[in-house]
């Protein structure tokens, strides 16, 4: 059976959802999964898979482990971010250590960006949003 590129990416995204890193799992389970604005994990966009994505606010969230500091991977990430920005998708990047050491701060940055991109959310304080740390 011959698979299209899109089918291969969709299968890879599905595998990545089932096998999240501990940092992805923490952000998903403790914040994004129950966040008021819907996010999905491991979303295929064009030829890329983003860690988390909200279509409603056109926001992608990427978590970077050690492999993202390799020059080749850094260039790939840069090209992917430029592509997403051409689709008017804002990309927020966080390191695994930021998730581990400043989880509340990461949640605040995400919430601030969502608020900036959604005019109807300007008055909702972060305390009312679920963030379990």
Burial of 84 (0-12, 13-18, 19+ CB in 10 A): buried
Count of Cβ atoms closer than 10 Å to residue 1 Cβ? 3
Q: pLDDT by residue (tens digit) across 97-107?
A: 999 999 999 99
Tokens of 83: 């592509």
String of DSSP letters for 49-66: EEEEEETTTTEEEEEE-G
| Domains, the chain | 5-128 (3.40.960.10)
- Mean pLDDT over 51-67 rounds to 91
Whether pTM exceeds 0.85: no
Encode pLDDT of 63-89 as tens digits: 987 665 678 888 988 999 999 999 999
Classify burial at 32, counting beta carbons within 10 Å of its beta carbon; exposed 0-12, middle 13-18, buried 19 or more.
buried
Other residues' Cβ atoms within 10 Å of the Cβ of residue 108: 14
């Amino acid at each position: 059976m011959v698979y299209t590129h899109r089918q291969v990416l969709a299968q890879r995204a599905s595998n990545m959802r089932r096998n999240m890193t501990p940092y992805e799992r923490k952000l998903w389970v403790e914040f994004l999964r129950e966040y008021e604005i819907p996010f999905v994990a491991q979303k295929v966009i064009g030829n890329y898979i983003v860690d988390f994505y909200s279509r409603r606010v056109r926001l992608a969230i990427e978590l970077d482990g050690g492999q993202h500091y390799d020059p080749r991977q850094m260039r790939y990430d840069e090209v992917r971010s430029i592509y997403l920005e051409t689709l008017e998708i804002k990309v927020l990047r966080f390191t695994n250590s930021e998730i581990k050491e400043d989880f509340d701060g990461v949640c605040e940055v995400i919430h601030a960006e969502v608020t900036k991109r959604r005019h109807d959310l300007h008055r909702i304080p972060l305390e009312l949003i679920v963030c379990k740390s």
